[in-house]
Structure 1
Amino acid sequence: MTLIEKTQDFVSKLLKDKLSSEYTYHNLNHTQGVVKAVETLCEKENVSDLDKELLVIAAWFHDTGYTKDAENHEVHSAVIATSFLIEKKVATDSITQIVALIKATEKKYVPQNELEKIIKDADYYHLFGSDYLFSCEGLRKEWQNTENKTFTDKEWALLNFDFMVNVHQFYTEYAIANWQPLKDKNCIALQQKINAKADKSITKEKKAKKIKTEKTEKPEKSERGIDTVFRVTLGNHTRLSGIADSKANILLSVNAIIISIALSTIIPKLDNPKYVHLMIPTLIMIVSSVTTIIFAILSTRPKVTKGIFTRQDIEEKKVNLLFFGNFYKMPLQEYQWAMNEMMKDKEYIYNTMIKDLYFLGVVLERKYRLLRVAYNFFMFGIVITVLSFIIAFKMIGN
């Protein structure tokens, strides 16, 4: 077996057995591709057989360092190659040249001679290949596996485009003349991919903006609906309170008139024995009217609270600032501060409105309950009074 064949067997076995499966780009397939590219360039650049042997061996070994560590893998590759070549009794000068060629594949290294240019160009053979985009995905997956680097499709395309346009260059005459045009085609394909991603991104942004607008409009519509509910309910409560007050005023007026008539016309005559039979009916009428007036007054009598609050009450959201009875004794500045604090918190505002409606409802219930009692007293009082007057007059008639 020739030295190249022995090298091929050794490296192939090493990469198959020792290289982690996480290396989806820098693997045996990549190494074989570099070797093939080296052979092509050696032929086209008229390299001697001895130099070709050195280049091919260096190509086989250039990424074996990944079996040790990705960082400074060129150094590890050189160590592995040196150990193998010493074992095979290769001349020291040749080993030195092979090691130099391996180290020339370092990403930022600028080749200094023709052989270094050849291996440098060969190492990037994938840039002009028809499967360039597929090869890039292998490198992308490898970086994700080994370095925890993740990229969006657009970021990855931009990164590769920048490398191809602004970083990488071919050095050999053959590569410049024949591989560069193919690389340029891949650049165009990459640019088209970037543009497609950009268009797609714009479309997504428009859709996202539309969805966001719709979502924004929905809460606004929902909030308007809530405001309408509060406004209508508050209006209903206010109207019901006004109706209750009107009913109470009717009772007060009617019963005040009844009492006035009784005091001015009937009661003065009760001293006369002739009208003694009217005493009980008159008493019933007066009692029912007074009782009705009392309950009517109770239904409309306002209840005023202490009218003060503390800052702690505001911070704990305990105070209903929409009801005058909770703030009428407070200084204007304190009330303004409290209202501003409440308006900063939507939940506090809605809870305050809910409390306001609730306690208005409680007040309304009390009003209508007392009014019902007042109307009952008035109704039954009138009926009993009329009946008692009828009975009294019948007794006199008999």
Structure 2
Amino acid sequence: MNYTTLLEEVKHHALHFFKTHEETPFLYHNLGHTEAVVKAATQMASYYKLSDRDVFIVLTAAWFHDMGYYTGPAEGHEKTAADLAAIFLRQHGVDEPTITEVQQCIMATCMNGQTPEGLKAQIVTDADLFHWGTDEFAERNKLMRKEAETRLNKKIAKEDWQRGTIKLLSTHHYKTSYGQQFLEPKKKENLEKLKAKFEEPPLLVNISTKATTLPEAATGKKGNNNRPDKGIETMFRISSGNNQRLSDMADNKAHIMISTTSIILSVILSVLLRKLEDNPHLVIPTMLLLVVCVTTMVFAILATRPNLSNGTFTQEDIDTKKVNLLFFGNFYRMSYDEYANAMNHMMNDRDFLYGSLTKDVYSQGVVLSRKYRLLRKAYDIFMFGIILSVVAFAFATIIFGH
């Protein structure tokens, strides 16, 4: 059985399903959440190097696991989703053992404290709550609350929701070693932030100065151990974008110089060289112009000539955080699994992530410096060479032309 092709059928079916149910107002359990679960499940399946069949089971369960919300009550939606998956898979000739495993993975997402049996079910369970161990937790938690209010048709007090969320996160543990290693630390950090926000003291008013002191969370300031504000991400994005635009400008200037010298060389080779026998006094100016154009073209080509590194990295490079995984030249010869594992490691290490972004911007600057140095030489050679060549042609014509 071709599981890759069949998985594409599952994906198309899921996308069509959510598209045809867009009128249902689910702010959290929607296509966006499903795609996030599929992405997380894909990462973990790659991490554990699952077989094609096991990957199919895990991702099929991820695509179907919340469809039950749209065809029945929220209570017991996992059983409804499992039945929908079974109907679809039987229509496509999938064997019963595989269907049973898909259903078991979907049922493992029930929030009733059950322990998922087997790695595949554990992966789907952790993928469903993947965002608890990421920076997306706060935003996704707000959407979950709004959806619950819509579904129950009543307002839920913020304090009650926070209290329930704290209880959930306090009693929850990721089932896979992947979740325990990469997600649990961030989930605990999110839990501590939620507790601090829930238990934060009221505003402290200094009576003598009439000054109001805000808690740290309210001022927007972050401690040294927290992830920086969006301003840092914006800084990296703008810096990288500016460097890329400067690189494009350098390439365009080099192309202009290459085109210009190519035209002059064509004229020299097709016209002037034929007339040198009749005009021997023009030999030196012509050779001078020829050398200038060729030298200029060489420097312009060097400015745009790409350099490639060896395209590999080692586990030691990852452990010591020396490799920049954001540049293709450092990984194009590595396998996808090795690269994916390294990226997962980087994305869950703040220092490694921001260090890689810093290296990326620095590397762009180094490349830009080389480009512009070579390009400046090309323009200098062309400018002074053309002036000298014109003077030589004029001198030769005036002195020796007759």
Given the two structures, how large is their TM-score scaled by the length of structure 2? 0.48
* Larger proportion of helix: 1
Q: Which has the larger radius of gyration?
A: 1
